[in-house]
Structure 1
Amino acid sequence: MSEAPQSKIRIDKWLWHARFFKTRSLAAKVVASGVRVNGQPIAKPAFGVASGDVLTFAQGKDVRVIRVVAHGVRRGPAPEARELYEDLDPPAPRERDPSAPVIEHGGRPTKKDRRQYEKSRSSALE
């Protein structure tokens, strides 16, 4: 007997359900610019992915390697979205830019913070 065909979901829709991209059209643009499914380059957002597929794509400055675990029925909250995939290569934590101002009180920089930042930048440039 033959097995039942495995259900598939569009890759742009799955990336949106799993909350990798804010909009489905943004996910479609990323797919069109280059995504790999199981090592094969894919350029069409309508390509179907099933559980067990490994996706490799760029997200910001990082390259993500994800294994599809389940389909998304809806675009739910983040904890529900994290159950849809397994992160095979989590991005490394970003280091803080040493030239960025240090704001001790949190929130927006004050006028004093901005003056100190501009003063440190001008002295570093000389």
Structure 2
Amino acid sequence: MLLNDIAAYLQANGVGTVGTDIFLGQLPATPDNVAALFEYAGEPPDLHSNVEYPGLQVLVRNKNYAAGRQKIEQIRNVLHGLTETIVNGRRYLLIRARQSPEALPRDENGRAIFVCNFRVIKEVD
């Protein structure tokens, strides 16, 4: 599954720990400083190959603006340009950021929020 693969890859590259400060498909109320991964509609799959194009959104929340900005940049740098990589037995042909990380309005607790969306090209299981 996309989110499990990306979370494992981020953890292996020192971004954080799945279930502690990296979460899949949810943004829990605590802890304050987290990264959350979400799937969204990408592009239609190829009709004549085993390739699909899911969308990936990474959201970072942090009490400290500079630390949150640094974390989303770290994640973008780890994922952007990833090519021909096997993660959990699945082949990822390309992961590319769709835009620069963006700051969103702070949440109700004053925590900074950043987001970055990615285009993913991967082989279908």
TM-score, structure 1 normalization: 0.26
Higher share in helix: 1
Higher share in strand: 2
TM-score, structure 2 normalization: 0.26
